[in-house]
Structure formats: structure tokens, C-alpha cells
Structure 1
Amino acid sequence: MPLFTFLCPDCRKAFEELVAADVVPPCPGCGGTAAQKQLARLAPEGRMKAVARAWRAQAAREGHLSNYSRTERGTP
């Protein structure tokens, strides 16, 4: 699942979520359901390892193990 940046038109809060492409998450600020996908900046070259580590940590917190290899998941 990709990491998307959203902007809530109700409270103007910007937030990132790791969701499927067709999912629009509720706003963590006001709970509104009209968040709009925003064009996100790409990570600068050379920082991709740190960015990937952050994405994997978020995926692990949310229980999305599909971003990990078999050895990282503990699956034989």
C-alpha cells in the first residue's frame, strides 16, 4: 500500500496515511470524510533508506506485513 498525503477541506489539516489507492481515510483532526489526496513530494535522493525505514515502521504499527520480505515476517 502506498503512502498518501491528504488535506481535509473542513479543518485544513494535512496528514499522511498508508492506505489503498481507492480509500479516503477520515481526518484525524475533525473526523471529516471529505479529505482530498494531495500531490506529495518525492524523497530526496540518498534519503530513500531512511524513508523506507519510516514507511516500514508505520506499516508494522498498522499490521501491514506485506511490505516485508519472508525473513522479516518470520515466515519460512
Structure 2
Amino acid sequence: ATVFGESYMNTTRWDYWNADGSAKPGTAEAKAAFEAAVAVSHDHPGANHLYIHLMEMSNQPELAMPAAQKLEATV
């Protein structure tokens, strides 16, 4: 799941969200992939790291706070 999400991110180059805050095509799927990976392995450093980057430009960056806190505790 993490590799899937990262692959999407690598092809869109920081262009995941529309100006109105809605997800561009593929963003919702990448978000779901990272969330699925973290659901299986809460401390997965790759999934948490990439989820932070996916969400930081969204209109809800606070959704990535738990991922940041997990990284702080594990890395």
C-alpha cells in the first residue's frame, strides 16, 4: 500500500489538491492506501512519513498529526 501511494505521489509532484481543497484524481486512493498501511502497522515509518507529505498541502493538514507523533516516537 505504501509503494502504491508513493508511486502516485512521484507522478504528480506535489500537485495533490485543487484550490478548493478537493482531492485531484488519485489523491483519495493514495490517502486510503496510506491509511490502510497504518491500520495494519501503526508505526510504519514510510506510510506515516508519506501521509504527512500528502496531507500537508490539503485543507485538513491536521489529519496528519497522529502520523507525525508516531514518527516522533519511533524515529
TM-score (norm 2): 0.29
Larger radius of gyration: 1
State the TM-score, normalized to the length of structure 1: 0.29
Is the strand fraction higher in 1 or 2? Answer: 1
